[in-house]
Amino acid sequence: MGTGQHILTSKTPTAVFLVVTVDDGGEQAARDALEGLAGIVTTVSSRVPDATLCAVVAIGSDAWDRLFSGPRPAELHPFVELTGEVHTAPATPGDLLLHIKSDRADLAYEVGRLWTTQLGDAVTTVDETHGFRYFDMRDLIGFVDGTENPNGPDAVSAITVDPDQDPDFAGGSYVAVQRYVTEFSEWNALPTSDQEDAIGRSKLENVEMDDDTKPSNAHTALTNLPDVDGKPQDIVRDNMPYGDIAGDGVKGTYFIAYSKTPAITEEMLRHMFLGDPPGNHDRLLDFTTAVTGTQFFAPTAEFLADLPPAPETEPAEQPTTVGPSDGSLGIGSLR
Protein backbone atom coordinates (compact mmCIF):
# COMPACT_ATOMS: atom_id res chain seq x y z
CA MET A 1 0.00 0.00 0.00
CA GLY A 2 1.33 3.44 -0.87
CA THR A 3 1.80 6.16 1.69
CA GLY A 4 -1.03 8.67 1.70
CA GLN A 5 -0.44 12.41 1.59
CA HIS A 6 -0.39 14.32 4.89
CA ILE A 7 -4.15 14.52 5.35
CA LEU A 8 -4.44 13.76 9.06
CA THR A 9 -2.96 16.70 10.95
CA SER A 10 -3.97 18.74 13.94
CA LYS A 11 -6.14 21.73 13.07
CA THR A 12 -3.77 24.40 11.82
CA PRO A 13 -4.48 28.12 12.30
CA THR A 14 -4.70 28.70 8.57
CA ALA A 15 -5.59 26.85 5.36
CA VAL A 16 -5.88 27.66 1.68
CA PHE A 17 -8.18 25.87 -0.74
CA LEU A 18 -7.51 26.22 -4.46
CA VAL A 19 -9.68 24.63 -7.16
CA VAL A 20 -8.59 24.99 -10.77
CA THR A 21 -9.57 23.64 -14.15
CA VAL A 22 -6.93 22.52 -16.64
CA ASP A 23 -7.22 24.40 -19.92
CA ASP A 24 -6.92 22.61 -23.27
CA GLY A 25 -3.24 22.03 -23.91
CA GLY A 26 -2.32 22.48 -20.26
CA GLU A 27 -2.10 18.80 -19.41
CA GLN A 28 1.71 18.54 -19.33
CA ALA A 29 2.02 21.65 -17.17
CA ALA A 30 -0.51 20.10 -14.77
CA ARG A 31 1.49 16.87 -14.63
CA ASP A 32 4.68 18.84 -13.94
CA ALA A 33 2.96 20.74 -11.13
CA LEU A 34 1.67 17.52 -9.55
CA GLU A 35 5.19 16.09 -9.51
CA GLY A 36 6.72 19.37 -8.34
CA LEU A 37 4.44 20.10 -5.38
CA ALA A 38 6.47 18.08 -2.84
CA GLY A 39 9.61 20.03 -3.74
CA ILE A 40 7.79 23.34 -3.30
CA VAL A 41 6.54 22.33 0.16
CA THR A 42 10.05 21.19 1.16
CA THR A 43 11.59 24.46 -0.04
CA VAL A 44 9.08 26.67 1.76
CA SER A 45 9.21 24.54 4.93
CA SER A 46 12.98 24.98 5.12
CA ARG A 47 12.49 28.69 5.84
CA VAL A 48 10.63 27.95 9.09
CA PRO A 49 11.41 24.30 9.96
CA ASP A 50 9.40 24.29 13.21
CA ALA A 51 6.15 25.43 11.58
CA THR A 52 3.60 22.91 10.38
CA LEU A 53 3.22 23.04 6.61
CA CYS A 54 1.71 20.45 4.30
CA ALA A 55 -0.26 20.39 1.09
CA VAL A 56 -2.65 17.80 -0.28
CA VAL A 57 -3.35 17.68 -4.01
CA ALA A 58 -6.22 15.81 -5.62
CA ILE A 59 -7.48 15.21 -9.15
CA GLY A 60 -11.04 15.40 -10.47
CA SER A 61 -12.80 12.79 -12.57
CA ASP A 62 -12.85 14.71 -15.85
CA ALA A 63 -9.14 15.53 -15.61
CA TRP A 64 -7.95 12.05 -14.66
CA ASP A 65 -8.14 10.53 -18.14
CA ARG A 66 -6.62 13.68 -19.68
CA LEU A 67 -3.58 13.41 -17.42
CA PHE A 68 -2.92 9.68 -16.99
CA SER A 69 -3.07 6.46 -18.95
CA GLY A 70 -3.87 3.14 -17.32
CA PRO A 71 -6.38 2.44 -14.52
CA ARG A 72 -8.30 5.10 -12.65
CA PRO A 73 -9.67 5.08 -9.09
CA ALA A 74 -12.64 2.72 -9.05
CA GLU A 75 -15.13 5.14 -7.46
CA LEU A 76 -13.95 8.43 -8.92
CA HIS A 77 -16.79 10.27 -10.63
CA PRO A 78 -18.03 13.86 -10.87
CA PHE A 79 -19.79 15.44 -7.90
CA VAL A 80 -23.47 14.48 -7.94
CA GLU A 81 -25.72 17.55 -7.93
CA LEU A 82 -28.65 17.29 -5.53
CA THR A 83 -31.88 19.22 -5.96
CA GLY A 84 -34.22 18.98 -3.00
CA GLU A 85 -37.63 20.50 -2.46
CA VAL A 86 -36.02 23.58 -0.89
CA HIS A 87 -32.23 23.44 -1.18
CA THR A 88 -29.70 22.49 -3.88
CA ALA A 89 -26.16 21.16 -3.69
CA PRO A 90 -24.69 22.35 -7.00
CA ALA A 91 -21.96 20.59 -8.96
CA THR A 92 -19.26 23.02 -10.10
CA PRO A 93 -16.11 22.63 -12.24
CA GLY A 94 -12.79 21.51 -10.78
CA ASP A 95 -9.89 19.46 -12.16
CA LEU A 96 -7.28 19.95 -9.43
CA LEU A 97 -7.66 20.70 -5.72
CA LEU A 98 -4.81 22.04 -3.60
CA HIS A 99 -5.44 22.00 0.17
CA ILE A 100 -2.63 23.80 2.01
CA LYS A 101 -2.42 23.69 5.82
CA SER A 102 0.00 25.68 7.95
CA ASP A 103 0.68 27.30 11.30
CA ARG A 104 1.52 30.45 9.37
CA ALA A 105 -0.45 32.21 6.67
CA ASP A 106 2.70 33.37 4.88
CA LEU A 107 3.93 29.80 4.35
CA ALA A 108 0.57 28.66 3.00
CA TYR A 109 0.45 31.66 0.72
CA GLU A 110 3.94 31.01 -0.60
CA VAL A 111 3.19 27.37 -1.47
CA GLY A 112 0.07 28.43 -3.33
CA ARG A 113 1.89 31.25 -5.10
CA LEU A 114 4.77 29.08 -6.27
CA TRP A 115 2.46 26.26 -7.38
CA THR A 116 0.13 28.49 -9.38
CA THR A 117 3.14 30.29 -10.87
CA GLN A 118 4.42 26.95 -12.10
CA LEU A 119 1.01 26.20 -13.64
CA GLY A 120 0.87 29.63 -15.27
CA ASP A 121 -1.78 29.98 -17.95
CA ALA A 122 -2.30 26.21 -18.16
CA VAL A 123 -5.18 26.46 -15.67
CA THR A 124 -8.09 28.66 -14.69
CA THR A 125 -8.76 29.25 -11.01
CA VAL A 126 -12.44 28.68 -10.22
CA ASP A 127 -12.29 29.01 -6.43
CA GLU A 128 -9.71 30.34 -3.97
CA THR A 129 -10.65 30.37 -0.30
CA HIS A 130 -8.44 31.31 2.65
CA GLY A 131 -9.62 29.67 5.86
CA PHE A 132 -8.70 30.31 9.48
CA ARG A 133 -9.12 28.59 12.82
CA TYR A 134 -11.76 30.38 14.88
CA PHE A 135 -11.30 30.26 18.65
CA ASP A 136 -11.63 26.67 19.97
CA MET A 137 -12.21 25.21 16.48
CA ARG A 138 -15.66 26.77 16.15
CA ASP A 139 -17.47 27.70 12.99
CA LEU A 140 -18.53 31.31 12.52
CA ILE A 141 -22.04 30.27 13.59
CA GLY A 142 -20.57 29.68 17.05
CA PHE A 143 -20.60 25.87 17.25
CA VAL A 144 -17.58 23.59 17.44
CA ASP A 145 -16.97 21.98 14.03
CA GLY A 146 -15.53 18.52 13.40
CA THR A 147 -16.76 17.01 16.67
CA GLU A 148 -17.76 13.77 14.94
CA ASN A 149 -14.35 13.15 13.37
CA PRO A 150 -12.78 9.79 14.21
CA ASN A 151 -9.34 9.70 15.83
CA GLY A 152 -6.17 7.65 15.57
CA PRO A 153 -6.40 4.35 13.68
CA ASP A 154 -10.12 4.91 13.12
CA ALA A 155 -9.34 8.11 11.23
CA VAL A 156 -6.74 6.37 9.08
CA SER A 157 -9.22 3.63 8.27
CA ALA A 158 -11.96 6.15 7.47
CA ILE A 159 -9.96 7.94 4.79
CA THR A 160 -7.76 5.22 3.31
CA VAL A 161 -8.61 3.09 0.30
CA ASP A 162 -7.53 -0.44 1.20
CA PRO A 163 -6.02 -3.06 -1.14
CA ASP A 164 -9.15 -5.23 -1.17
CA GLN A 165 -11.23 -2.23 -2.21
CA ASP A 166 -9.03 -0.99 -5.07
CA PRO A 167 -5.50 -2.47 -5.24
CA ASP A 168 -4.26 0.00 -7.84
CA PHE A 169 -5.05 2.99 -5.63
CA ALA A 170 -4.67 1.63 -2.10
CA GLY A 171 -3.59 4.32 0.35
CA GLY A 172 -5.37 7.14 -1.46
CA SER A 173 -8.44 9.10 -0.38
CA TYR A 174 -11.57 10.52 -1.96
CA VAL A 175 -12.21 14.21 -1.34
CA ALA A 176 -15.42 16.23 -1.60
CA VAL A 177 -15.50 20.01 -1.22
CA GLN A 178 -18.30 22.56 -0.92
CA ARG A 179 -18.11 26.24 -0.10
CA TYR A 180 -21.07 27.48 1.94
CA VAL A 181 -22.18 31.10 2.25
CA THR A 182 -24.01 31.82 5.51
CA GLU A 183 -26.74 34.41 6.11
CA PHE A 184 -25.61 35.59 9.52
CA SER A 185 -28.31 38.17 10.05
CA GLU A 186 -30.93 35.42 9.91
CA TRP A 187 -28.88 32.94 11.93
CA ASN A 188 -27.99 35.43 14.65
CA ALA A 189 -31.65 36.40 14.98
CA LEU A 190 -32.44 32.88 16.21
CA PRO A 191 -32.58 32.25 19.95
CA THR A 192 -29.73 30.05 21.14
CA SER A 193 -32.16 27.21 21.86
CA ASP A 194 -33.34 27.25 18.23
CA GLN A 195 -29.75 27.28 17.00
CA GLU A 196 -29.03 24.27 19.20
CA ASP A 197 -32.05 22.47 17.76
CA ALA A 198 -30.75 23.15 14.25
CA ILE A 199 -27.34 21.64 15.06
CA GLY A 200 -28.33 18.98 17.59
CA ARG A 201 -25.69 20.02 20.18
CA SER A 202 -25.38 22.61 22.92
CA LYS A 203 -23.64 25.76 21.75
CA LEU A 204 -21.40 26.55 24.71
CA GLU A 205 -20.55 23.09 26.06
CA ASN A 206 -20.66 21.24 22.70
CA VAL A 207 -22.68 18.37 24.18
CA GLU A 208 -24.79 16.37 21.73
CA MET A 209 -28.49 16.00 22.42
CA ASP A 210 -29.81 12.55 23.13
CA ASP A 211 -31.96 10.85 20.52
CA ASP A 212 -35.16 11.53 22.43
CA THR A 213 -34.76 15.30 22.35
CA LYS A 214 -32.81 15.89 19.13
CA PRO A 215 -35.05 17.13 16.28
CA SER A 216 -35.17 14.83 13.25
CA ASN A 217 -34.02 17.67 10.99
CA ALA A 218 -31.00 18.60 13.14
CA HIS A 219 -27.70 18.66 11.30
CA THR A 220 -26.15 15.96 13.47
CA ALA A 221 -29.22 13.73 13.12
CA LEU A 222 -29.07 13.73 9.32
CA THR A 223 -25.28 13.34 8.99
CA ASN A 224 -25.00 10.38 11.37
CA LEU A 225 -24.96 7.29 9.15
CA PRO A 226 -24.70 3.97 10.99
CA ASP A 227 -23.97 0.86 8.92
CA VAL A 228 -26.01 -2.34 8.98
CA ASP A 229 -24.33 -3.30 12.27
CA GLY A 230 -25.07 0.07 13.85
CA LYS A 231 -21.46 1.31 13.69
CA PRO A 232 -20.88 4.86 12.43
CA GLN A 233 -19.69 5.30 8.86
CA ASP A 234 -17.01 7.88 9.26
CA ILE A 235 -15.44 10.60 7.16
CA VAL A 236 -12.79 13.12 8.23
CA ARG A 237 -13.89 16.73 7.91
CA ASP A 238 -11.23 19.43 7.78
CA ASN A 239 -13.63 22.37 7.49
CA MET A 240 -12.50 25.96 7.98
CA PRO A 241 -14.33 29.25 8.43
CA TYR A 242 -13.58 31.94 5.87
CA GLY A 243 -14.85 35.35 4.95
CA ASP A 244 -14.78 39.11 4.74
CA ILE A 245 -15.13 41.21 7.86
CA ALA A 246 -17.05 44.37 6.97
CA GLY A 247 -20.67 44.79 6.01
CA ASP A 248 -22.36 42.16 3.90
CA GLY A 249 -19.12 40.56 2.71
CA VAL A 250 -19.26 36.86 1.85
CA LYS A 251 -18.46 34.57 4.76
CA GLY A 252 -19.22 31.01 5.79
CA THR A 253 -17.70 27.53 5.91
CA TYR A 254 -15.45 25.65 3.54
CA PHE A 255 -16.51 22.01 3.81
CA ILE A 256 -13.91 19.40 2.91
CA ALA A 257 -14.41 15.70 3.57
CA TYR A 258 -11.85 12.92 3.14
CA SER A 259 -13.09 9.33 2.94
CA LYS A 260 -12.21 5.85 1.71
CA THR A 261 -15.30 5.91 -0.50
CA PRO A 262 -17.35 8.82 -1.83
CA ALA A 263 -20.54 6.86 -1.10
CA ILE A 264 -20.56 7.87 2.58
CA THR A 265 -20.25 11.60 1.94
CA GLU A 266 -22.81 11.41 -0.86
CA GLU A 267 -25.32 9.69 1.43
CA MET A 268 -24.82 12.37 4.09
CA LEU A 269 -25.44 15.09 1.52
CA ARG A 270 -28.55 13.33 0.25
CA HIS A 271 -29.92 13.29 3.79
CA MET A 272 -29.08 16.97 4.21
CA PHE A 273 -30.45 18.29 0.91
CA LEU A 274 -33.16 15.80 -0.05
CA GLY A 275 -34.15 14.86 3.48
CA ASP A 276 -34.56 11.69 5.50
CA PRO A 277 -37.36 10.94 5.05
CA PRO A 278 -37.64 12.93 1.79
CA GLY A 279 -38.57 16.53 2.51
CA ASN A 280 -37.08 16.50 6.02
CA HIS A 281 -34.02 18.53 5.04
CA ASP A 282 -31.20 19.77 7.25
CA ARG A 283 -32.41 22.78 9.24
CA LEU A 284 -28.96 24.37 9.01
CA LEU A 285 -29.40 24.73 5.24
CA ASP A 286 -32.11 27.31 5.88
CA PHE A 287 -29.27 29.66 6.90
CA THR A 288 -26.36 28.61 4.69
CA THR A 289 -26.14 27.99 0.93
CA ALA A 290 -23.77 25.68 -0.94
CA VAL A 291 -22.28 27.59 -3.87
CA THR A 292 -19.71 25.01 -5.04
CA GLY A 293 -19.48 21.22 -5.14
CA THR A 294 -16.66 19.12 -6.57
CA GLN A 295 -15.20 15.67 -6.00
CA PHE A 296 -11.57 14.54 -6.30
CA PHE A 297 -9.19 11.70 -5.57
CA ALA A 298 -5.99 12.30 -3.57
CA PRO A 299 -3.48 9.64 -4.64
CA THR A 300 -0.50 8.47 -2.61
CA ALA A 301 2.80 10.34 -2.38
CA GLU A 302 4.39 7.52 -4.37
CA PHE A 303 1.89 8.01 -7.20
CA LEU A 304 2.70 11.72 -7.37
CA ALA A 305 6.45 11.09 -7.34
CA ASP A 306 6.23 8.70 -10.28
CA LEU A 307 3.18 9.51 -12.37
CA PRO A 308 1.87 6.97 -14.89
CA PRO A 309 2.47 7.88 -18.53
CA ALA A 310 0.33 10.51 -20.14
CA PRO A 311 -2.39 9.27 -22.48
CA GLU A 312 -1.28 8.67 -26.01
CA THR A 313 -2.54 11.33 -28.37
CA GLU A 314 -4.29 10.14 -31.48
CA PRO A 315 -2.38 11.01 -34.68
CA ALA A 316 -4.12 13.58 -36.79
CA GLU A 317 -6.22 11.95 -39.50
CA GLN A 318 -4.68 12.51 -42.91
CA PRO A 319 -6.99 13.51 -45.77
CA THR A 320 -7.54 10.83 -48.37
CA THR A 321 -6.30 11.83 -51.83
CA VAL A 322 -8.28 10.45 -54.70
CA GLY A 323 -6.54 10.52 -58.08
CA PRO A 324 -8.12 10.97 -61.48
CA SER A 325 -10.22 8.06 -62.74
CA ASP A 326 -7.89 7.54 -65.72
CA GLY A 327 -5.05 6.44 -63.45
CA SER A 328 -2.81 9.41 -64.30
CA LEU A 329 -1.13 11.61 -61.68
CA GLY A 330 -3.43 14.48 -62.56
CA ILE A 331 -0.62 16.79 -63.69
CA GLY A 332 -1.87 17.26 -67.21
CA SER A 333 -0.65 16.01 -70.57
CA LEU A 334 3.06 15.41 -71.14
CA ARG A 335 2.76 16.06 -74.85
DSSP state of 275: T
Residues 6+ apart with CB under 8 A from 78: 60, 61, 62, 91, 295
Phi, then psi, of 155 in degrees rounded to 5: -70, -45
What does the buried/exposed string (b/e) look like for 57-72 if buried means 16 or more CB atoms within 10 Å of the residue's CB? bbbbbebbebbbeeeb
Catalytic site residue from 145, 166, 197, 234: 145
Rounded CA-CA distance 96/34 in Å is: 9
Cα–Cα dist 328/298, whole Å: 61
Asked if residues 298 and 103 have their Cβ atoms less than 8 Å apart, the reply is no
CA distance 30 to 28: 5
CA 263/CA 230 separation, integer angstroms: 17
User: Could you tell me if 177 and 19 are in contact, meaning their C-beta atoms sit under 8 angstroms apart?
Assistant: yes
- Please state the three-class secondary structure of 211-253 as a single string: CCCCCCCCHHHHCCCECCCCCECCCEECCEEEECCCCCCCEEE
Listed in sequence order, the residues at least 6 apart from 137 whose beta carbon sits closer than 8 Å to its beta carbon are 11, 144, 145, 146
Clarify whether 145 is annotated catalytic. Answer: yes
Which three-class secondary structure state does DSSP give residue 60? strand
- Which residues belong to the active site? 145
